[in-house]
Amino acid sequence: MKTVNFLTNLFFISLLAVLSLSRCSSPEDTEPIKDTTQQGHKEPTALQEILKFDKATKVSGALPAVANISLLKTNTQDTIFALPGIKMPIRISHPKSTILKGIYIAVKQGTFYYDIPIEREEESDTVSVILLEVDPEKEDQTYHIPADIIPYDDTKTPLDKIERIITVEPAAGNTCGILVDKPTTLGDTSGLWTPEWFWFATMVFGPTNEISFLNAPGNNFITNTTYEGCCDPNRPQGKCHPLSTTLNATARATIAYTIESETFTFFTNGTFARQTHERKQNFNPETTDWCSGTAGYTLDDIVVSYFGQHDYLPGDKTISYGTTYASCDLCGYGSRGGDLKHTCHLLIISRQTEASKEIRIYVRNPVSIWYE
């Protein structure tokens, strides 16, 4: 437990360092990308045609009116970064009592808007997802697209308005690298570093490009299970004798697993640092009140640091890496390389088989999960 506390502190210290430290590979410090703005090159309607959404319907006219009441939040702050040809999940956090059925999206001053049904609802019933894609042919320049996002309920009543800039970036090549210099504060198995790439989402697509799996920070995988046990009201706390084989009671338990975060930092010397943060809730029969049917739980909050080597060089289209040290041998989870694309703000690692394609998306330097 002391190790977990130490590593948790290290993780949040690293997060704070993102705000105060500058690196040679950050977007602000590299050669600026050519800025192609909405006003300079395309009319709002033409910009809107760049955006693609699964199962969307075009509706002529202006968006339904609604005020920003901060009821709903998204997984992006001011800017939704996009890479042509890559589907990006837009996750909308909402109260459990609020049912989202779809989202209206329009470019400001456009002549139509998109009506997009919800693609997925996460198991918590508090996060709804749609997928944004950018026309793959628009990969030669940068677009900054001001958009209004208006989720609606099962009666199509608008609930809230979220304003974002959708920034479409071409693949960066050598303009913005993914590597940073290794700090002197970091050794081979411990130390301090600034996380560079933050996990944004993992998606798996089937052979017809339909999404079959999605995971993202804070997404709860939940299983509800009924367990059998023994209640003896004549014994302390209603617990049966340890050798009793009587099963005369039940308890309903919620088992949950969440990946809160994962970060990667790839260094110019061929090494990397990675960190994962998981939460687990498992059923504990020893702390369960069998007479009342109240489940007991074991809660684990696990932060693991990994160090290893990678083979990436600027301009490569693939990356491989392997862990040489982990702070906990029986904790955490693995990761593997694959095909690589990146912009100044996005890192995409993908692997494809005949049956499916896995895409992992990382973004540069966020400090939260949900934003109004």
pLDDT in tens, 38-76: 433 567 878 888 899 988 999 999 999 998 888 899 988
Q: Do 314 and 203 fall within a single domain?
A: yes
Q: How far apart are CA 246 and CA 232, in angstroms?
A: 10
129 neighbors 118 (Cβ within 8 angstroms):
yes
Look at strands 112-117 and 102-107 and give their pairing.
Answer: antiparallel
Helix residue spans in 51-109 (DSSP H) = none
| Pair (72, 10) in one structural domain | no
Q: Give the pLDDT score at 173.
A: 63
Is the pLDDT assigned to residue 35 strictly greater than 50? no
Check: CB of residue 112 under 8 Å from CB of residue 106. yes
In angstroms, rounded to a whole number, what is the distance separating the alpha carbons of residues 270 and 179? 9
336 and 211 together in one domain? yes
Q: Are residues 208 and 121 in the same domain?
A: no
Within this chain, do residues 60 and 95 fall inside the same structural domain, yes or no?
Answer: yes
| Judgement on whether residues 46 and 123 belong to the same structural domain of the protein | yes
Domain co-membership, 10 together with 87: no
Which residue range is the domain that position 352 belongs to? 2-27+173-364
Above 80 in pLDDT, residue 3? no
To the nearest whole number, what is the mean pLDDT of the chain? 86
276 neighbors 323 (Cβ within 8 angstroms)? no
The CATH number of the domain holding residue 43 is 2.60.40.10
In this model, does residue 332 exceed pLDDT 60? yes
Kindly state whether residues 57 and 145 are assigned to the same domain.
yes
Question: Same domain, yes or no, for 227 and 341?
Answer: yes
Asked whether 274 and 263 are in contact (CB, 8 A), the reply is yes
**Same structural domain, 123 and 193:** no
Shared domain for 13 and 55, answered yes or no, is no
CA atoms within 13 A on the CB side of 183: 17
- Strands 249-267 vs 179-180: parallel, antiparallel or unpaired: parallel
Residues 215 and 334 reside in one and the same domain: yes
